Structure 1
Amino acid sequence: MTEKIRGRVVRPGAVVPGIVEVDGPTILSVAEHADAGDDIILPGFVDLHCHGGGGHTFTRGDAGEAAKAAAFHLRHGTTTMLASLVSSPYELMRDATAAYLPLVDRGVLAGIHFEGPYLSAARCGAQNPEFLREPSLEELGALVRLGAGAVRMMTIAPELPGALDAIRYLAAQNVVAAVGHTDATYEQTLAGVAAGATVGTHVFNGMRPPHHREPGPVVALLDSPAIVCEFVADGIHLHDGMLRFAARATPHRGALVTDAMDAAGMPDGSYELGGQEVAVTDGVARLVRDGSIAGSTLTMDATFRRAVAAGLDLPTAAAMAATTPARALGLSDELGALEAGLRADLVVLSADLRVKRVMRAGEWI
Structure 2
Amino acid sequence: MSTLIIHSAALYDGTIGGTAPDGAIRIEDGVITHVGTTADSRDWPADGAEIVDAQGAPVVPGYVDVHHHGGGGVAYDDGPEATATALAKHAAHGTTRAVLSYVTDSLDLMEKRIREGAEIVRTNPRVIGLHPEGPFLDPGHKGAHPVHELKDPTDENVRRILDAGEGTIVQMTIAPERTNGTEAVKLLVENGVVAAVGHTDASYETSREAFNNGATQLTHAFNGMNGIHHRAPGPVIAALRDERVWVEVINDGIHVHPQVVRSLFLEAPERVVLVTDAMSATCNPDGDYMLGQLKVNVRDGVARLAEGDSLAGSTLTMDRAVANAVHEVGVPLDVAVAAATGHAARCIGMNDRYGRIAKGYPGDVLILDPESLLPTRIWADGEAVEPA
TM-score range, shorter chain: over 0.9
1:39 and 2:57 are equivalent in the alignment: yes
Which of 355, 362, 365 is the matching residue for 2:382?
Answer: 362
For 1:9, the equivalent position in structure 2 comes to 11
Structure 1 distance, partners of 2:20, 2:129, is 31
Letter in 2 for 1:89: S
Q: Is the 8 A contact 1:38 1:350 kept in 2?
A: no
1:333 and 2:346 are equivalent in the alignment: no
Letter in 2 for 1:10: Y
For 1:65, the equivalent position in structure 2 comes to 82
Which of 64, 87, 93 is the matching residue for 1:76?
Answer: 93
Q: Please, which moves more after superposition, 87-96 or 133-142?
A: 133-142
For 2:122, the equivalent position in structure 1 comes to 105
Q: Please, which moves more after superposition, 259-268 or 126-135?
A: 126-135
1:118 and 2:123 are equivalent in the alignment: no
Structure 1 distance, partners of 2:80, 2:26, is 34
Q: Secondary structure at the match of 1:315?
A: helix
- After TM superposition, list the pairs within 5 Å mapping 1:274-289 onto structure 2: 274-289=292-307
- 1:292-345 Cα offsets, whole Å, 9 max, x none, are 111100111011111111211111001000000101121111111111121211
For 1:156, the equivalent position in structure 2 comes to 174
- Return the offset for 1:273: 1.1
For 2:158, the equivalent position in structure 1 comes to 140
For 2:46, the equivalent position in structure 1 comes to none
- Return the offset for 1:36: 5.2
For 1:313, the equivalent position in structure 2 comes to 332
Q: Is the 8 A contact 1:84 1:115 kept in 2?
A: yes
Letter in 2 for 1:77: G
Letter in 1 for 2:31: T
Count of residue pairs brought into register by the alignment: 364
- Stretches of structure 2 that go unaligned for 5 or more consecutive residues are 40-52
- Return the offset for 1:250: 1.2
Letter in 1 for 2:236: V
Q: C-alpha root-mean-square deviation of aligned residues, in Å?
A: 1.4
Structure 2 distance, partners of 1:146, 1:213, is 41
Structure 2 distance, partners of 1:273, 1:198, is 27
Structure 2 distance, partners of 1:294, 1:160, is 23
- Return the offset for 1:102: 1.9
Structure 2 distance, partners of 1:318, 1:231, is 14
Structure 1 distance, partners of 2:229, 2:270, is 25
- After TM superposition, list the pairs within 5 Å mapping 1:177-216 onto structure 2: 177-216=195-234
For 1:323, the equivalent position in structure 2 comes to 342
- Stretches of structure 1 that go unaligned for 5 or more consecutive residues are none
Equivalent pairs: percent with the same residue?
39
For 2:44, the equivalent position in structure 1 comes to none
Which of 178, 185, 193 is the matching residue for 1:167?
Answer: 185
- Return the offset for 1:176: 1.0
- Return the offset for 1:276: 1.3
Q: Secondary structure at the match of 1:76?
A: coil
Q: Is the 8 A contact 1:199 1:227 kept in 2?
A: yes
Structure 1 distance, partners of 2:119, 2:253, is 36
Q: Is the 8 A contact 1:20 1:27 kept in 2?
A: yes
- Return the offset for 1:355: 1.6
For 1:219, the equivalent position in structure 2 comes to 237
For 1:24, the equivalent position in structure 2 comes to 29
Structure 2 distance, partners of 1:154, 1:162, is 15
Structure 2 distance, partners of 1:31, 1:3, is 14
- Return the offset for 1:362: 1.9
For 1:272, the equivalent position in structure 2 comes to 290
- 1:83-103 Cα offsets, whole Å, 9 max, x none, are 111111101111012111221
- 1:207-242 Cα offsets, whole Å, 9 max, x none, are 111111111111101211111100000000111111
Letter in 1 for 2:291: L
Q: Is the 8 A contact 2:105 2:293 kept in 1?
A: no
Q: Secondary structure at the match of 2:101?
A: strand
Structure 2 distance, partners of 1:182, 1:110, is 26
TM-score, normalised on structure 1? 0.96
Q: Is the 8 A contact 2:226 2:235 kept in 1?
A: yes
For 1:343, the equivalent position in structure 2 comes to 362
Q: Secondary structure at the match of 2:77?
A: coil
Letter in 2 for 1:95: K
Q: Is the 8 A contact 1:111 1:150 kept in 2?
A: yes
Q: Please, which moves more after superposition, 44-53 or 337-346?
A: 337-346
Q: Secondary structure at the match of 2:324?
A: helix
- Return the offset for 1:15: 4.6
- 1:135-171 Cα offsets, whole Å, 9 max, x none, are 1211222332332211111100111110111110010
- After TM superposition, list the pairs within 5 Å mapping 1:41-56 onto structure 2: 41-56=59-74
Structure 2 distance, partners of 1:36, 1:277, is 44
